[in-house]
Structure 1
Amino acid sequence: MPIIWSTSKKEDRQYVQEYKPAQDNIKYLRVLLYGPVGHGKSSFINSVSNVFRGRISIPALASATNSDKSFTKMFETHKFNKGRGNEKTIYPVVFNDIMGLEEEENRGVHEDDINLALKGHVKEGHKFNPVSLLTQSDLDYNPTPSADDKVHVLVCMLSANASQIKPSVLEKMKNVRETASELKIPQMAMMTHIDEACGETEKDLKNVYKSKHLKKKVDFSAAVGIPLNCVFPVKNYSHEIDLNDDVDTLILSALRKMIDFGDDFIEKI
């Protein structure tokens, strides 16, 4: 799915800015990010915020090290301001960050908690506990989720620079995908760290769709259950102090597809 680098950023930005959910009773298209620890969930939210705000910003705290433990502990909705002062509104696309999946049974988010989040049962601010799953008797359990509380797009974050994902983590990811499929929630994957994984892409992001190494990584995403045409390469902002047009272009291209997939789902519900 090649990008027209000279025009895509402007067109996709306008598309995202003008989007409104297909159903009047839904204010926000809700995107849930999940995946193994350290694959760039929080960094992607920060990168989206940068693109929306036109400057570097940090709405979601992210680890600066490649830790094998999840930095995100709580269920949090990230909203993005559009405009300023009296004209300030919220973009109708919001993201839920979630604790990362880890190899051991008593570490990282449990897939059952992710499945509850998909259905809108997890309240804002819930602190995930891998050894004590959320139940209907907990205060953080939302017994009557609205259409706004439910997830409209499920996005798997996978690092192109990561080693092979452990079988136990893949099994957890499979369980989440199966629940989303039962709920008919559309699914996508973001391939992060594409610059770190490929020297040619590090030199020039425009080489992303020419890289044979990254194509193998995208093929792996398909192997974990995400169709090839639903896997999108992105580079998160990490060390940069200014925005970059090519980085923005890839992020906006992925955002546009999230909106398309999510809005198709909203129309059906």
Structure 2
Amino acid sequence: MGGSQSKETTLEYNKPWRDTPWGLQEDLEKKIKEFKLSVQNIEHVRIMVIGEVGAGKTSFINSVNSVFQKRITNEALVNKTTDISTTFTKWLKTYYIRNAQSFLPFVLTDTMGLESEDLHGVHTEDIVKAMEGHIKERYKFNQTCTIVPQDVGYRSDPSPQDKTYCLVYIMAADKISMMTDNVLKKIKYIKNKANELEIPQVIIMTRPDEACPLVQKDLRKIYTSKKIKEKLKECSELTGISMSYALPLKNYHDKIDTQNDIDVLILRAITQILHLANDALRMKFNENTNSE
């Protein structure tokens, strides 16, 4: 007994290294519902979600929707087979998150997953074109070649709402160390292109309970766990994205009801992402106004 407690103590900090408003999910949700974008006539900011196959990209989108619907949703279909070596998502699809009879001021764009092989999964250039707003809704990604202006799914003159204002990388805590060099190469290429487009970027680290026994027992240990901090640091070092923009959370992939603590982590993440996207939106419009 004592040995077990001592072992757990070595896995945990004496106090959380990030403050978390446990129990205040209603306040967090209210602020997002009342959030006003800084540019008039823009109904939403687009947040693009990318990640390696099996990292929980589509589950994250469903989890965000579940928080606001107060029930487990599956609007974005998830691959539930045992074969997760290839991507399930084939199309570019936008998800609007409903707030009663209206919609929240952000949308989530799902993309084809990143794979190790060069001719499998989404092409990095297609991700760049999608960030720029050049790929139309429901375009089916072609694994053998990238989109060109002559393709039916190509949008020549994207509107402000077609463009991406925050890029979210989904990384699974228990699989970070197994990421191949080729996937990392693709992520770094996309990151550099997003930097050129001045798009802020965030890491969402999923499956924390699979990487840390403390978190598996109690989700509130997520910011006292040394293992989770170590994994977040690893995400940051691999991608070059600051630890300040690396956020761990648990998706609703194995639950039948929503839970307050899971909601809090998701809502905190969406709050930070929404603020970053809004800042990028304001900067883009200020640049356009000043250049006219």
TM-score with structure 1 length normalisation? 0.96
Name the count of aligned residue pairs. Answer: 264
Once the two structures are TM-superposed, the CA of residue 4 in structure 1 deviates from its matched residue by 2.2
Residue 20 of structure 1: aligned partner = 36
1:40 and 2:79 are equivalent in the alignment: no
Once the two structures are TM-superposed, the CA of residue 34 in structure 1 deviates from its matched residue by 0.7
Q: Determine the C-alpha separation between the residues in 2 that align with 1:18 and 1:74.
A: 31
Provide Cα deviations, 1:10-53, integer angstroms capped at 9, x if missing partner. Answer: 22111110112211132111100111111011000100111011
The one-letter code sitting in structure 2 at the alignment partner of 1:64 is: K
Give the counterpart of 1:228 among 243, 252, 256.
Answer: 243
Q: Determine the C-alpha separation between the residues in 2 that align with 1:168 and 1:76.
A: 25
Q: Which moved more, 1:94-103 or 1:63-72?
A: 63-72
Q: Determine the C-alpha separation between the residues in 1 that align with 2:179 and 2:133.
A: 28
Query: Matched residues, percent identical?
Result: 37
Residue 258 of structure 1: aligned partner = 273
1:151 and 2:164 are equivalent in the alignment: yes
Once the two structures are TM-superposed, the CA of residue 164 in structure 1 deviates from its matched residue by 2.0
Provide Cα deviations, 1:111-133, integer angstroms capped at 9, x if missing partner. Answer: 00000011000000000112121
Give the counterpart of 2:112 among 71, 79, 99.
Answer: 99
Q: Determine the C-alpha separation between the residues in 2 that align with 1:239 and 1:158.
A: 18
What pairs up with 1:179-190 in 2 under 5 angstroms?
Answer: 179-190=193-204
Query: Is the CA contact 1:110–1:130 (under 8 Å) kept in the aligned structure 2?
Result: yes
Once the two structures are TM-superposed, the CA of residue 193 in structure 1 deviates from its matched residue by 0.5
Rg comparison, structure with higher value: 2
Once the two structures are TM-superposed, the CA of residue 238 in structure 1 deviates from its matched residue by 1.1
The one-letter code sitting in structure 1 at the alignment partner of 2:99 is: K
RMSD: 1.0
Secondary structure of 1:55 counterpart:
coil
Q: Determine the C-alpha separation between the residues in 1 that align with 2:172 and 2:275.
A: 23
Residue 267 of structure 1: aligned partner = 282
Q: Determine the C-alpha separation between the residues in 2 that align with 1:222 and 1:196.
A: 19
The one-letter code sitting in structure 2 at the alignment partner of 1:218 is: L
Residue 3 of structure 1: aligned partner = 20
Query: Is the CA contact 1:25–1:147 (under 8 Å) kept in the aligned structure 2?
Result: no
Q: Select the structure that is richer in helix.
A: 2
Secondary structure of 2:250 counterpart:
coil
Q: Determine the C-alpha separation between the residues in 2 that align with 1:232 and 1:2.
A: 12
Provide Cα deviations, 1:145-195, integer angstroms capped at 9, x if missing partner. Answer: 000000010000000011421011101101100111001101000000111
Residue 30 of structure 1: aligned partner = 46
TM-score with structure 2 length normalisation? 0.88
Residue 87 of structure 2: aligned partner = 70
Secondary structure of 1:249 counterpart:
helix
Once the two structures are TM-superposed, the CA of residue 69 in structure 1 deviates from its matched residue by 0.5
Note the residue ranges of structure 1 that are not aligned, 5 or more in a row: none
Q: Determine the C-alpha separation between the residues in 1 that align with 2:224 and 2:270.
A: 22
The one-letter code sitting in structure 1 at the alignment partner of 2:159 is: S
